[in-house]
Amino acid sequence: MNLLIKGGIVVDPVSGTVSEKDILVADGKIAGSGVGLHHPDAQVLDVPGKLVTPGLVDMHVHLREPGLEAKETIYTGTRAAARGGFTAVACMPNTRPVADSAAVIISIVNRAAADGAVRVYPVGAITNGSLGQEMAEMGDMKQSGAVAFSDDGMPVMDSGLMRRSMQYAKMLNAVIISHCEDKKLAGGGLMHEGDVSTMLGLKGIPAAAEEVMVARDILLAEDTGCRLHIAHVSTAGSVRLVREAKSRGVRVTAEAAPHHFTLTDQAVIGYDTSTKVNPPLRTAEDVAEIRRGLADGTIDVIATDHAPHTAEEKDVEYELAPFGMVGLETAVGLVWTELVAAGVLTLAQAIAKMTINPAKILGLPLGSLGAGAAADITIIDPAAAWTVDPAQFASKGRNTPFTGRVLHGLPYATIVSGRLVMREGIVL
């Protein structure tokens, strides 16, 4: 089946250009692009004024399957991704069982092929059970489809084990995604350590709990030559450490989540447990430095860290609630409103951080609209103003601190392999 996307504003993050043209899709691939294209038997999608971008890639998502299906499944999580404009997601291994073996990786790949609305790329664990004790079979997992390795949710506290894991990952040419948290410094804290935590009487997590580990992992990446990706950067100090390491040529990349460039610890006033996230919401200075890091290229990727939990789990005292918030269905609106419309990033920069940059880090042939590429395409209505309403989410998780917020920029259609999987918010 052929598809002709007419009259849109095409954003090409590879060349950095934004121009009005048509795109022709045939047999699941980009057949060509240009002005005034015609095709005798193509379904026409008329999208004047809308943005046409390569399919968005979210390299940090928790799909919760296997084992935690009350929070999310591959079926619901990939439908949330499609509604959010994402055509591909990388899913973290903190499932039950943990994705620390070829068998679990294969089961995720198979389930995604059967149930998934978008592409799913599993991330394998660095250590067995993500317990930080012994290295997992990374080679086997890579062969079975793991695209990266991470103990996300937990740090690898043992520096010797992290170093050996990086040496091994380097042999596999795999990237290590690090959840940077010194458990002893974090000390069981519940939110950012600062004036607000003192005022609220909640135990704090100092910025240093993250930064000590960012510094350690940069040093280990330099020592081993392994590619390192820092997950969910939340502090100004982490941004500065990554910036300095990059200037020295260390093979390090970094991501930031929409909540960390949008909200501060002030959002915790009121004790709404949807604001409880790890790493925590930080200060206005941290938010400003993350925005600078996004603008100057220190932060390569925008990833959601979509972390769904059930209402029952979150509907408890702040101290008892699990860390995490959903992000797939609000990411585009937050990026458009907070970064592009606000003048922090150009449109092409923002789209690069959600397409070609994560694709390159994971070694995936995605993120481009060049002829011959898989026809993974996202269409965004930049003029749409909409109100965040979790009741409309396809995700099982409703744990968002953005309820009621008015955002600009709404995913209009999501196309995977030339097939429309979402249009106007409806997953097809």
Ligand X SMILES: NC(=O)N[C@@H](CC(=O)O)C(=O)O
Q: Is 305 annotated as a binding residue?
A: yes
The identity of residue 301, as a single letter, is: V
Q: What's the rounded Cα separation, in Å, for the pair 321 and 105?
A: 29
* Residue 335 near ligand X by CB under 6 A: no
Q: Is 270 annotated as a binding residue?
A: no
Q: Is 63 annotated as a binding residue?
A: yes
| Strand ranges in 179-226 using DSSP code E only, listed in sequence order | 191-192, 204-205
* Residue 367 near ligand X by CB under 6 A: no
Report the nearest approach of Zn ion to the CB of residue 188 (Å).
16
Q: Give helix then strand counts, H and E, for the chain.
A: 14, 18
For ligand X, the binding residues in 110-149 under the rule CB under 6 A are none
Q: What's the rounded Cα separation, in Å, for the pair 218 and 224?
A: 10
State which residue, 180 or 215, has the beta carbon closest to Zn ion.
Answer: 180
State which residue, 21 or 179, has the beta carbon closest to ligand X.
Answer: 179
State which residue, 323 or 386, has the beta carbon closest to ligand X.
Answer: 323
Q: Is 116 annotated as a binding residue?
A: no
* Residue 324 near ligand X by CB under 6 A: yes
Q: What is the DSSP string of 68-112?
A: -TTT--HHHHHHHHHHTTEEEEEE-S-SSS-S-SHHHHHHHHHHH
Q: Residue 271: name its binding partner from ligand X, Zn ion, none (Cβ under 5 to 8 Å by kind).
A: none
* Residue 281 near ligand X by CB under 6 A: no
Report the nearest approach of Zn ion to the CB of residue 348 (Å).
27
CB-hemisphere CA count at 13 Å for 168? 19
Using CB under 6 A, which of 22, 58, 265, 305 touches ligand X? 305
Q: What's the rounded Cα separation, in Å, for the pair 201 and 66?
A: 37
State which residue, 24 or 176, has the beta carbon closest to Zn ion.
Answer: 176
CB-hemisphere CA count at 13 Å for 296? 14
Report the nearest approach of Zn ion to the CB of residue 265 (Å).
18
* Residue 314 near ligand X by CB under 6 A: no
| Strand ranges in 248-349 using DSSP code E only, listed in sequence order | 252-256, 301-302
Q: What's the rounded Cα separation, in Å, for the pair 12 and 367?
A: 9
Q: Is 324 annotated as a binding residue?
A: yes
Tokens standing for residue 425: 């918010």
Binding letters toward ligand X, positions 53-82, x by CB under 6 A: ---------x--------------------
**Beta carbons within 8 Å of 379's beta carbon, 6+ residues apart:** 5, 8, 45, 47, 50, 51, 52, 53, 411, 412, 413, 414, 415
* Residue 278 near ligand X by CB under 6 A: yes
Sheet containing 301-302: give its strands across. Answer: 175-178, 227-230, 252-256, 301-302
For strand 51-54 and strand 86-91, is the pairing parallel, antiparallel, or unpaired? unpaired
* Residue 307 near ligand X by CB under 6 A: yes
Using CB under 6 A, which of 271, 318, 323, 386 touches ligand X? 323
- Residues near Zn ion (CB under 5 A): 152, 179, 305
The neighbour count for residue 406, using CB atoms within 10 Å, is 11
State which residue, 6 or 260, has the beta carbon closest to ligand X.
Answer: 260
Report the nearest approach of ligand X to the CB of residue 399 (Å).
10
Tokens standing for residue 95: 């499932």
Q: Is 278 annotated as a binding residue?
A: yes
State which residue, 293 or 409, has the beta carbon closest to Zn ion.
Answer: 293
Q: Is 149 annotated as a binding residue?
A: no
Report the nearest approach of Zn ion to the CB of residue 253 (Å).
16
Q: Is 140 annotated as a binding residue?
A: no
Report the nearest approach of ligand X to the CB of residue 311 (Å).
15
Active site residue 286: no
Helix (H) / strand (E) element for 415: namely strand 406-416
**Beta carbons within 8 Å of 125's beta carbon, 6+ residues apart:** 93, 98, 99, 100, 136, 149, 150, 151
Per 3-state DSSP, the chain is made up of helix, strand and coil in percentages (nearest 5) of: 35, 25, 40
**Strand, helix or coil for residue 205:** strand
State which residue, 93 or 409, has the beta carbon closest to Zn ion.
Answer: 93
Q: Is 192 annotated as a binding residue?
A: no
Report the nearest approach of ligand X to the CB of residue 257 (Å).
8
Q: Residue 277: name its binding partner from Zn ion, ligand X, none (Cβ under 5 to 8 Å by kind).
A: ligand X
For ligand X, the binding residues in 145-184 under the rule CB under 6 A are 152-153, 179
> Which residue in the shown chain puts its C-beta closest to Zn ion?
179
Q: Of residues 182, 265, 300, 305, which has the active-site annotation? A: 305
Task: Tell me the binding residues.
Answer: 60, 62-64, 94, 152, 179, 232, 278, 305, 309, 323-324
Catalytic residue IDs = 305
Q: Which residues bind to ligand X, rule: CB under 6 A?
A: 62, 94, 152-153, 179, 277-278, 305, 307, 323-324
Task: Tell me the binding residues for Zn(2+).
Answer: 60, 62, 152, 179, 232, 305
